[in-house]
Amino acid sequence: MTEQPPRQQEVLAFVERFAAEMVEAGMPRMPARVFSALLASEDGALTSAELGERLRISPAAVSGAVRYLAQVGLLARERDPGSRRERYRLHEDQWFETFTRRDAVLVRWENALNSGIAAIGADTAAGRRLAQSAEFFAFLQKELHSMMERWQEHKAAR
């Protein structure tokens, strides 16, 4: 094993630390590591070979991780002109994109809860519990929209 320069070791330590936080929040381990490596890369894009080398993982592990990350909308695939080699890139405003997509999930959950209220009955303990949950998701949607607008204003002002 070749010795890595100190800066590279610090970056790898960050990648593993942030990936561990994402795993703790529910993301699978390998996609968390790949996402963290992309986040820490200079231009937010790496090839499969670069990811494998940086993380010391197999091409199959990279493939499974990028497939997961693409499915959940955390990265995009691109090709260099004239090349068959794919690069995996984070979205430009990654966190804004991620949280904006959460709004659709909140709408679906609220709708599902409302159908549960209709099925169970609003005047039952379960119906009231579902109604409180639906109200919570409606509140989150409203606040999320407001927060995203404030973020865009904040970003434009800096």
Residue-wise pLDDT tens digits, 20-67: 999 999 999 999 999 999 999 999 999 999 999 999 999 999 999 999
Pick 8 or 28 by higher pLDDT: 28
pLDDT band at 3 (very low <50, low <70, confident <90, very high): low
Taking alpha carbons only, the member of 4, 16, 18 closest to residue 55 is 16
Q: Has residue 1 got a pLDDT over 60?
A: no
Among 53-57, 70-74, 134-138, the least confident range = 70-74
Taking alpha carbons only, the member of 77, 76, 67, 65 closest to residue 31 is 65
pLDDT band at 115 (very low <50, low <70, confident <90, very high): very high
pLDDT band at 4 (very low <50, low <70, confident <90, very high): low
pLDDT band at 83 (very low <50, low <70, confident <90, very high): confident
Give the global pTM: 0.77
Q: How far is it, in rounded angstroms, from Cα 21 to Cα 16?
A: 9
Average pLDDT over residues 83-112: 86
Tokens of residue 152, six digits: 């865009």
User: What DSSP element (H or E) covers 17?
Assistant: helix 6-24
CA dihedral 127, 128, 134, 136 (to 10 degrees): -160
Number of other CB atoms surrounding residue 155 within 10 Å = 10
